[in-house]
Amino acid sequence: MSEVWACGFNGFSQLTADSIESKIKTLQAIHLGLEDKEKLTECEISWSFIAWLTDQHRLITCGFSPDKLDASVKPALQATTISVLSSHLIVMDSNSTLQEWRHGHFMHVSLKGVENFKPKQIHSKEMNCVAISEENVPVEISPVYHQSSIEYICKPLPLGCAIRSVACGVDHVLMLSDFGSVFSYGSGSRGQTGHGTTEDICGQPKVIEALEGVRMVLIASGNWHSAAVSEFGDLYMWGWNECGQLGILCRKNLDHEFKITDDCSEKNDAVTIQALPYLVLPPDDKEEDIVVAKVACGARHTAVLTNCCKLFTCGWNGYGQLGLGDCYNRDRLTYVQDQHLPSLKCQPEQLDIYCGSWNTILVLQKTETKTET
């Protein structure tokens, strides 16, 4: 069974209907009505609703959707993966059949532009949508909406290597290859593509040379910032640091307690745009070597899970999405203290972490305890 905790924006009761608060500032238990052995497999977060998928192919939604998507919605197929494109929910089954929730019901999606294309993954955010084919080729998708039908115009982006995962920002995209190389393309206005420039990378994705030589195993993308984790558990961040979402000292910090000091040298070290990947170190722990196991990015915040199941957060905290019990921004990775975090006696592979624009969600996959006879 899965257990869920969440914090951040609750303006549409997408986290809990038990509270009228729009800001949940510490991780609170979320009750989704799961059956005893039912497990969550995916979580997709929009600004106003959250969609969950279980290993029983059950779709659970919480919050508000402009298209009247609610908890009673059932797709006409056995969903195996889900994604949120702007305010629209995309579902896909094991046969790569796609449907999109629009105008109050699920509509079939036709794939155009690539013959015999079967996606096995689909990733989206705002207006970016990228699928991965059965041959591990990334395919850029441009939706075309008609009155009674939906078409996805597909454009392959062959890179000469197999792509294992994709992370979409508002206007940029990251891709991770089987060899551990990271590619990016799209807007570079805030350094989010990681090529040392604020120029756009148009057309073909480009390998991030600053990360070559070390195998990356995870990628994540916020609205305008990016992250990657190496096979050694090192965390690299780049892009916009307006609120400290990179875990680097920033110039704009609204928190009086954590503001930049009057020290001129410290002010000179402050960063707003980090256009190249930067090695970010969580605070020292005298008892344990901190190794990053997982990372997730929200609009302007970041959440990091370590190999000892400790949670660190940084960035914009306007809705309490850092889980620290307040709404102050942090520009350094900050440990979510035990009083704000459920007791986690587990292995890191049992935990998943998700960030929406203004939310942080922690999912624990509980193991069955065997009773001795």
pLDDT in tens, 41-92: 999 999 889 999 999 988 998 888 766 666 656 776 788 999 998 778 999 9
> The domain that contains 188 carries what CATH number?
2.130.10.30
Q: What percent of the chain has pLDDT over 70?
A: 88
**Residue 258: is its pLDDT beyond 70?**
no
Mean local confidence (pLDDT), 217-237 = 97
Residue 366 has a pLDDT of 81
The answer on 292 and 253 residing in a single domain is: yes
Residue position matching structure tokens 């919480």 = 62
Mean local confidence (pLDDT), 263-274 = 69
**Of the candidates 219, 220, 248, 245, which has an alpha carbon nearest to the alpha carbon of residue 231?**
219
The answer on 319 and 287 residing in a single domain is: yes
> The domain that contains 147 carries what CATH number?
2.130.10.10
State pLDDT tens for residues 180-207. Answer: 999 999 999 999 999 999 999 998 999 9
Residue 342 has a pLDDT of 66
Q: How many residues does the chain have?
A: 373
3-state secondary structure 87-102: CEEEEEECCCCEEEEE
The confidence band for 348, taking pLDDT boundaries of 50, 70 and 90, is confident
Mean local confidence (pLDDT), 7-28 = 90
The answer on 208 and 100 residing in a single domain is: no
Residue 71 has a pLDDT of 63
| Higher-confidence position of 17 and 137 | 137
- The answer as to whether 2 is a domain residue is no
**CA dihedral over 170, 135, 208, 185, signed as positive or negative:** negative
State pLDDT tens for residues 93-108. Answer: 999 999 998 877 889 9
**CA dihedral over 329, 334, 337, 340, signed as positive or negative:** positive
The confidence band for 261, taking pLDDT boundaries of 50, 70 and 90, is very low
The answer on 342 and 199 residing in a single domain is: yes
Residue ranges making up the domain that contains 168: 160-259+266-347
State pLDDT tens for residues 303-345. Answer: 999 988 899 999 999 999 999 999 999 999 999 987 666 666 7
The answer on 217 and 138 residing in a single domain is: no
Residue 367 has a pLDDT of 77
The pair phi, psi for residue 72, each rounded to 5°, is: -85, -5
Q: How many CB atoms lie within 10 A of CB 319?
A: 23
Residue 203 has a pLDDT of 85
Tell me the average pLDDT of the chain: 88
The answer on 142 and 59 residing in a single domain is: yes
The answer on 287 and 219 residing in a single domain is: yes
Number of domains in the chain: 2
The confidence band for 268, taking pLDDT boundaries of 50, 70 and 90, is low
**CA dihedral over 48, 16, 219, 278, signed as positive or negative:** positive
